[in-house]
Amino acid sequence: MNVRQLISGSDLRGVALGGSANLTCDVAYRVGEAFTAMLAAEGKKPKITIGRDPRVTGEALESAFGEGACHAGAEVIVFGLCTTPAMFESIQSIPGVDAAVMVTASHLPAERNGLKFFLPQGGIGHDVLNRIVELSESDSNFEHAGGSISHQAFLSTYTEMLKKSLRNRIGSNAEKPLSGLHIVVDAGNGSGGFYATLLSDLGADTTGSQFLEPDGTFPNHIPNPENETAMAAIQQAVLNSHADLGVIFDTDCDRAAIVDSAGREINRNRLIALISAILLKEQPGATIVTDSVTSSGLAEFIQSHGGVHDRYRRGYRNVIDRAQLLASQGKCCPLAIETSGHAALAENAYLDDGMYLVTRLIAQAILMKVKGESLSGLIADLREPVESAEVRLAITDKDFRKTGEAVLAHLTETAPAQPGWHVAPDNAEGIRVSCDVCGMKNAGWFLLRLSLHDPVLPINIESDIKGGNTAIARALYEQIASLPGINTEPLKQYFSKEVM
Long-range contacts of 428-436 (CB under 8 A, 24+ apart): 428/292, 428/311, 428/312, 428/313, 429/292, 429/312, 429/313, 429/314, 430/292, 432/292, 434/296, 435/468, 435/471, 435/472, 435/475
Q: Are 183 and 176 in contact (CB under 8 A)?
A: no
CA distance 215 to 382: 37
CA distance 343 to 272: 9
User: What backbone torsions phi and psi does residue 2 show, to the nearest 5 degrees?
Assistant: -90, 90
Q: What is the 3-state secondary structure (H, E, C) of the chain?
A: CCCHHHEECCEEEEECCCCCCCCCHHHHHHHHHHHHHHHHCCCCCCEEEEEECCCCCHHHHHHHHHHHHHHCCCEEEEEEECCHHHHHHHHHHCCCCCEEEEECCCCCCCCEEEEEEEECCEECCHHHHHHHHHHHHCCCCCCCCCCEEEECCCHHHHHHHHHHHHHHHHCCCCCCCCCCCEEEEECCCCCCCHHHHHHHHCCCECCCCECCCCCCCCCCCCCCCCCHHHHHHHHHHHHHHCCCEEEEECCCCCCEEEEECCCCEECHHHHHHHHHHHHHHHCCCCEEEECCCCCHHHHHHHHHCCCEEEECCCCHHHHHHHHHHHHHCCCCCCEEECCCCCEEEHHHCCEECHHHHHHHHHHHHHHHHHCCCCHHHHHCCCCCCCEEEEEEEEECCCCHHHHHHHHHHHHHHHHHHCCCEEECCCCCCCEEEEEEECCEEEEEEEEECCCCCCCEEEEEEEECCCCHHHHHHHHHHHHHCCCCCECCHHHHHHHHHHCC
Q: Which residues are catalytic?
A: 106
CA distance 24 to 375: 45
